Amino acid sequence: MNYRHHFHAGNFADVMKHALLVRLMAGLQKKEKGFLYLDTHAGRGSYDLTSAEKGDTLVRQPEYPNGIGRLWTRTDLPESLAGYVALVKQFDQDRGGTGAAPRFYPGSPWIARLLARPQDRLALCEKHPEEFELLDIALAREPKVSLQERDGYGALRAMLPPPEKRALVLMDPPFEAADEFTRMVSAVEEGLQRLPAGVFALWYPLTERARVDAFFHGLLALKLPPTLMLELEIVGVRSDAKLKGCGLVVINPPWQFEHEAGPLLDWLGEALAQEPGAGSRCTWLVPETR
């Protein structure tokens, strides 16, 4: 487990994932009944973006300037993104950021915590001991939050179905291991058996298209409920860049989620483009009418 998210915090992939997380939370909160937010790969909870530049042994090029940095001073944000950017700015300011540039960035645990209502509950899993220690320091005293130092995939068996009978599960693995896609598919299979109406959001990198196609093939073999596929490409398909973009599969998306996710991603496709050929995609893997 060498992956450390603080090198990547606030990059284009975080922007895409976290902006959609904000909208997913809002979608689930259209109903009064509370739900469980289960973060299988939580990370440390929040990030000081200046520490990314120092690296562990080598100086690193920070990634946030091409992510949240590009949205920081935009005055033309679409409504669907404004809530996410306002939340990040407030988080930064509350921790002492000057506001001139992003400094303190919330990870998915803090984003969910800040949006949770009294009736919602958070379960945050993190396997790396040092990341978990930081997560524990940051969020242990927060109400309605349980923290678990464990393998996040196994948490679906342990935590589902929740007493609320409603859940939003975010799976955001580091993709260090070759079997990460197949582990996600197995975890989804188990999760859907336990909570067929649960909302599952699965983040994945766009490196090799063939791996993503195999992932979809594995998912489709599960006979999924309605499932949306959302992708953001920051470079064209023929680019030499290793990470060309990222995606989020959303199983059982909230009603009409696609109508806000599609335009949101179109806007990000332009705002976060790094090379010609960038763009976005919002399509059903399994349509709602099925």
| Contacting positions for ligand SAM (CB under 6 A) | 1, 3, 5, 17, 39, 41-43, 107-108, 125-128, 131, 151-153, 172-174
First-to-last C-alpha distance (Å) of the chain = 40
> Nearest distance from residue 2's CB to ligand SAM, in Å?
9
Residue 156 contacts residue 191 (beta carbons within 8 Å): yes
> Nearest distance from residue 126's CB to ligand SAM, in Å?
5
> Nearest distance from residue 32's CB to ligand SAM, in Å?
27
Q: Of 94 and 133, which has the nearer Cβ to ligand SAM?
A: 133
Residue 77 contacts residue 85 (beta carbons within 8 Å): yes
DSSP class of residue 58 equals S
Q: Of 212 and 286, which has the nearer Cβ to ligand SAM?
A: 212
Nearest CA among 147, 30, 154, 15 for reference residue 72: 15
Q: Distance between CA atoms of 183 and 191, rounded to whole angstroms?
A: 12
> Beta-carbon neighbour count of residue 115 at 10 Å?
18
| Structure tokens given for 274 | 């790094």
Is residue 266 annotated as a catalytic residue, yes or no?
no
Residue type, 114: L
Omega of the bond leading into 78 within 30 degrees of 0 (cis): no
Residue 244 contacts residue 237 (beta carbons within 8 Å): yes
> Nearest distance from residue 121's CB to ligand SAM, in Å?
17
Q: Of 140 and 220, which has the nearer Cβ to ligand SAM?
A: 140
Handedness of CA 45, 31, 204, 194 (dihedral sign): positive
Q: Of 153 and 204, which has the nearer Cβ to ligand SAM?
A: 153
Question: Looking at beta carbons, which residue is closest to ligand SAM?
Answer: 107
> Nearest distance from residue 43's CB to ligand SAM, in Å?
3
Pairing of strands 167-171, 227-233: unpaired
Catalytic one among 14, 92, 120, 172?
172
Q: Of 125 and 268, which has the nearer Cβ to ligand SAM?
A: 125
Active site members: 172
